[in-house]
Amino acid sequence: MMKNRDNKTPGEKMYKKLGVSEPVYAFGAEVEASLRERFDRVDEVVEYNQLKVLGAMQENRVSDIHFAASTGYGYNDLGRETLEAVYASVFQAEAALVRPQLTCGTHALAVALSANLRPGDELLSPVGKPYDTLEEVIGIRPSKGSLAEYGVRYRQVDLMEDGSFDYEGIRSAITDKTKMVTIQRSKGYQTRPTLSVDAIGELIAFIKSIRSDIICMVDNCYGEFVGTTEPTQVGADLCVGSLIKNPGGGLAPIGGYIVGKQEYIEQAAYRLTSPGLGREVGATLGVLGSFFQGLFLAPSVVGGALKGAIFAANVYERLGFLVSPDGAQPRHDIIQAVTFGAPEGVIAFCQGIQAAAPVDSYVVPEPWAMPGYDSDVIMAAGAFVSGSSIELSADGPIKPPYTVYFQGGLTWEHAKFGILMTLQRLLEAGMISRGQLEPSS
């Protein structure tokens, strides 16, 4: 990179102009230089997934006519049907439901669960407590319209201390009433390991060996395109996610997906719309172009977010903070957890992410009582799509052990800038010192 007379590159000068001090920039540059081989491996996965998505679009003969809008009932929406065929191909599943009427990941999960469970059935989580917003869907925390109100019982088996599955506990928990198993791939607001697709496959095989008719559903949020396989390729009957996370590529303005076996997708369609109508209705209202193009861009966008997560892990691990995953561990989602042990660290981190945003960078996030959570939560996101967590974002509950969860960045460069701004805010708040940022050699 060409330097000017003051021995600074144009990039260094721009970082300084945007608020990143020289010690923070130099520390980040040292960490980044150590990650080149790791980033090369991320690029290999991106290339594979890009070709996989491209192949699925070619196989299903995507054309510009599939971007047209439908209104009203949405009967015979060719674009909607083709998009769902593309998703089924990408995930190597029998069928898919990909709709703007699925308003978020929690909604898509609620539809998949309620569609395939009946009063008297049991739902089992063999990986511990699910994500906070799913607690009210299930009825772990009482809520109107929960599965518990409709007579669906819930059981869970916690992971072992080392994060492995408690196979004997799972075997004991499965009864003749167990209809469905829900497996959350990502960690949620926990510090447990994110589950690899291989580990999910092993768990599903174990469950099916006990009772082959148990429906195995995977909450795939934050995990799409992180590796070269998806849960439906290792035995998952249903796989569920949000389009304002990984597979929407930052372009989908709303939506969710459910992919898997035909019979369970049909059930979900009847729950989403109405018995007797199912998949035949649901106008797309002009979003299909964004859905198709977002999916096409998703592998590259996820790659940038992965590099940001790896960078964050190594930055904060070097500073002595507890991080999950650590700087060297394989990645199975785009989320990076950093534990500060004090609320001030979580707040300063989120304020740094907000200051790096292209939208609402002047806003200062503060903790608040957000619906669906059992404590105050702070969220930072200056996103083009409201709430999009494939865009640069961070959030965390204001409760011990005071852990922040960072994810996203539509480009690696933006994710890098966001992490440097978090360091800048922590430095200014006195939570790290200039001495900690000195070169290691």
pLDDT in tens, the chain (441 residues): 555 556 789 999 999 999 999 999 999 999 999 999 999 999 999 999 999 999 999 999 999 999 999 999 999 999 999 999 999 999 999 999 999 999 999 999 999 999 999 999 999 999 999 988 899 999 999 999 999 999 999 999 999 999 999 999 999 999 999 999 999 999 877 778 899 999 999 999 999 999 999 999 999 999 999 999 999 999 999 999 999 999 999 999 999 999 999 999 999 999 999 999 999 999 999 999 999 999 999 999 999 999 999 999 999 999 999 999 999 999 999 999 999 999 999 999 999 999 999 999 999 999 998 776 778 999 999 999 999 999 999 999 999 999 999 999 999 999 999 999 999 999 999 999 999 998 876
The confidence score (pLDDT) of residue 5 equals 53
State the pairing for strand pair 336-339/403-407: antiparallel
Domain interval for residue 72: 65-287
The confidence score (pLDDT) of residue 383 equals 94
Do 269 and 163 lie in one domain? The reply is yes
Structural domain ending residue among the three candidates 231, 253, 287: 287
Domain membership flag for residue 1: no
Is the link from the previous residue into 325 a cis peptide, with omega within 30 of 0?
yes
C-alpha radius of gyration, the chain, whole number: 22
Q: Which domain CATH number covers 112? A: 3.40.640.10
Do 275 and 309 lie in one domain? The reply is no
The confidence score (pLDDT) of residue 194 equals 93
Structural domain ending residue among the three candidates 287, 314, 340: 287
Domain membership flag for residue 127: yes
Count structural domains, the chain.
2
* CA–CA separation, 130 and 156 (whole Å): 9
The confidence score (pLDDT) of residue 7 equals 76
Domain membership flag for residue 57: no
Domain membership flag for residue 4: no
The confidence score (pLDDT) of residue 6 equals 67
Note whether 411 and 249 are within 8 A (CB). no
Q: How far is CA 58 from CA 51, 69, 90, in A?
A: 10, 21, 11
Q: Which domain CATH number covers 303? A: 3.90.1150.60
Note whether 299 and 49 are within 8 A (CB). yes
φ/ψ region of 376 (left if φ > 0, alpha if ψ in -120 to 50, else beta) reads beta
Structural domain ending residue among the three candidates 287, 321, 342: 287
